[in-house]
Structure 1
Amino acid sequence: MTKTLPKTWIITGSARGLGRAILTAALENGDNVLAAARDVSQLADLKALHGARLEPFALDVTDEARTAEAATAAIAAFGRIDVLVNNAGYGHFEAFEQKSPTDFRAEVETNLFGVVNMTRAVLPFMRKKRAGHILNVSSVGGRVGTPGLAAYQAAKWAVGGFTEVLRGEVAHLGIRIVSLEPGGMRTDWADTAGNSAPNTVLPDYAETVGATLARIRAYAGNEVGDPARIAQLVLALAKRSDLPAHLVLGTDALASFDAAEATRLSDHARWLDISRATVFGGPEGEALTALLPPD
């Protein structure tokens, strides 16, 4: 019987939350992990437990040169890269109008370009061996729009699009990619996002951003998503050749996604005639505008 070799993982954002749950599961499975985190001191307990199978690596995923070094370090330590989990990210809750351009860009840099940077770093190694899995931890926020999370969700929508495009480019090379889209999980994400909100939401946004912020704060600690179960799922996905482009995780995520999809399909049907009409040879003038649905 052929013995299965341990996989080598790179996991970003591995010190806390879902990233740490995936890291722990991979190590307990006997695999090797380059665990990337801003503060690797938080990995000291796991390093003491698992020794040489864990390679902590200090990383800010917005640093493109450093992400390249992470991939090289994984090869140096373990000789291969089998799985990349792009997990690093954060969300700060604030009305778009109140969010500074600097803060908006910083969230996009981490949540989108962190994924881009790390993926670019590992692709040459995966391409060479004609195999690999890239699991992008996005969010159901990449399929819906939530008032107060413009920067975070803009980046997560982009991660979903990036995932779909890259799948088309590398599937024939044996590289499998999926966008994981969980809802609320029992991590510190909701606390961090909610506590990052400014003390004052502009009165004009009280019914939208303010109401959503109240729901997020009330949900913190009561999320239905189990990081340990998601981590076990990630281990299983890293063994499969058949992966979907998007995988929504959690009953709360499914409810949000299904409602958003229903609205999109309804809008599509309502505006279908005008969508079809804007081609050469189509109706013009009043005949064109007459196809608009009632206002």
Structure 2
Amino acid sequence: MSKVWLITGSARGLGRHILDAALAAGHRVVAAARDPGRLADLQAQFGERLRTVELDVTDAAAARAAVQVAIEAFGRLDVLVNNAGYGHIAPLEQVSDDDFRAQIETNFYGVVNLTRAVLPAMRAQRSGHIINISSVGGRIGMAGLAAYQSAKWAVGGFTEVMAREVAPIGIKVVALEPGGMRTDWGTVAGSKIPALLPDYEASVGALLKMFGSYVIPGDPARVAQVVVRIAEHGDPPEHLLLGSDALHFFDQVDAERVRSAEAWRDVSLSTDFDTGPIPAFPDR
């Protein structure tokens, strides 16, 4: 059955793949982008099944206007894909205040703005899917990605809260968490790398070296197919890791968290009232 979609960040990268997949599946789409002119080829091909809008996701009023375009054009809105986002690699100490804040505004508040904007329509319909494109970086931490990964962690928590908040209304909310994909994300992420302070060579420098030799396994076209199928699923997971590297990194980090929690368990329990003295801390 044809559904009505709104996709942010749809002019390039994963967003463009999701747009292509949704249109190929027969859906009607409002494609939002900072530069919708880059979608002229699809507009000519799909005509009335596609609307394009200029959108800066950090602008809450513009988010509401984009939703209104979908309602006026197609009468409803079934699927929101919060895809717009980017990251810059740098040690926190060497990230400007403006750059750090801009990444948080786009990667997190963009999701909040669009989600808030679609809820009245989806609540009236008693149905809808909100699909947040997060990252395995929303489950792990890597040196050099403080702003980007902090925002993605926030997206993960926001997704869980919203999934519980709107489940009784019939709205599904899911965070997709891919690993590396062959898009231009890395080009953008590497576009503002400063000359590292020597003290950060062992941490951020190591990440840069890893990225330099990293063979990216993720196929954005396959991720887009998962997005289309998730939008049809009646009971999607709140979190879904995508890619062998995402599973690898998460498994490593999760195992360490379990080990650490168990090693410090007695200290954790000791902070309740009337539990006796706080025990000695474990050695590493």
- TM-score (norm. length: structure 1): 0.94
Q: Any residues of structure 2 matched to 1:51-130 within 5 Å, and which?
A: 51-130=47-126
Q: Which residue of structure 1 lines up, in the alignment, with residue 130 of structure 2? A: 134
- CA–CA distance in 2 between the matches of 1:162 and 1:134? 12
Q: Which of 152, 168, 180 is residue 148 of structure 2 equivalent to?
A: 152
Q: Which of 197, 222, 241 is residue 229 of structure 1 equivalent to?
A: 222
Q: Which residue of structure 1 lines up, in the alignment, with residue 239 of structure 2? A: 246
- Equivalent pairs, count: 284
Q: Which of 228, 241, 261 is residue 254 of structure 2 equivalent to?
A: 261
- CA–CA distance in 1 between the matches of 2:216 and 2:74? 36
SS at the partner of 2:201?
helix
Q: 1:169-204 CA deviation, whole Å, 9 max, x = no partner? A: 001111001100000001010121123212x11100
Q: Any residues of structure 2 matched to 1:170-181 within 5 Å, and which?
A: 170-181=166-177
State the shift of 1:224 in Å. 0.6
Q: Which residue of structure 2 lines up, in the alignment, with residue 205 of structure 1? A: 200
Contact 1:17/1:187, CA 8 A, preserved across alignment: yes
State the shift of 1:21 in Å. 0.4
State the shift of 1:30 in Å. 1.1
- TM-score (norm. length: structure 2): 0.98
> In the alignment, does 2:18 pair up with 1:26?
no
State the shift of 1:49 in Å. 0.6
State the shift of 1:214 in Å. 2.1
Give RMSD over aligned pairs.
Answer: 0.9
Percent identity at matched positions?
Answer: 57
Q: Which residue of structure 1 lines up, in the alignment, with residue 270 of structure 2? A: 277
Contact 1:191/1:217, CA 8 A, preserved across alignment: no
Q: Which of 114, 139, 146 is residue 143 of structure 1 equivalent to?
A: 139
Q: 1:215-265 CA deviation, whole Å, 9 max, x = no partner? A: 22333xx31111111111111111111111110000011100000101110
Q: Which runs of 5+ in 1 are unaligned?
A: none
Letter in 2 for 1:209: V
Q: 1:89-119 CA deviation, whole Å, 9 max, x = no partner? A: 0000100110011111110000000000000
- CA–CA distance in 2 between the matches of 1:127 and 1:196? 41
- CA–CA distance in 2 between the matches of 1:146 and 1:294? 24
SS at the partner of 2:156?
helix
Q: Which runs of 5+ in 2 are unaligned?
A: none
- CA–CA distance in 1 between the matches of 2:249 and 2:261? 18
- Structure 1 stretches (4+) deviating beyond 3 angstroms? none
SS at the partner of 1:195?
coil
- CA–CA distance in 2 between the matches of 1:183 and 1:172? 31
Q: Which residue of structure 2 lines up, in the alignment, with residue 163 of structure 1? A: 159
SS at the partner of 1:241?
coil
- CA–CA distance in 1 between the matches of 2:75 and 2:205? 50
SS at the partner of 2:240?
strand
- CA–CA distance in 1 between the matches of 2:62 and 2:236? 29
Q: Which residue of structure 2 lines up, in the alignment, with residue 292 of structure 1? A: 281
Q: Which of 208, 211, 220 is residue 216 of structure 1 equivalent to?
A: 211
SS at the partner of 2:158?
helix
Q: 1:58-109 CA deviation, whole Å, 9 max, x = no partner? A: 0000001000000111100111100000000000010011001111111000
Q: Which of 36, 41, 48 is residue 37 of structure 2 equivalent to?
A: 41
- CA–CA distance in 2 between the matches of 1:178 and 1:216? 28
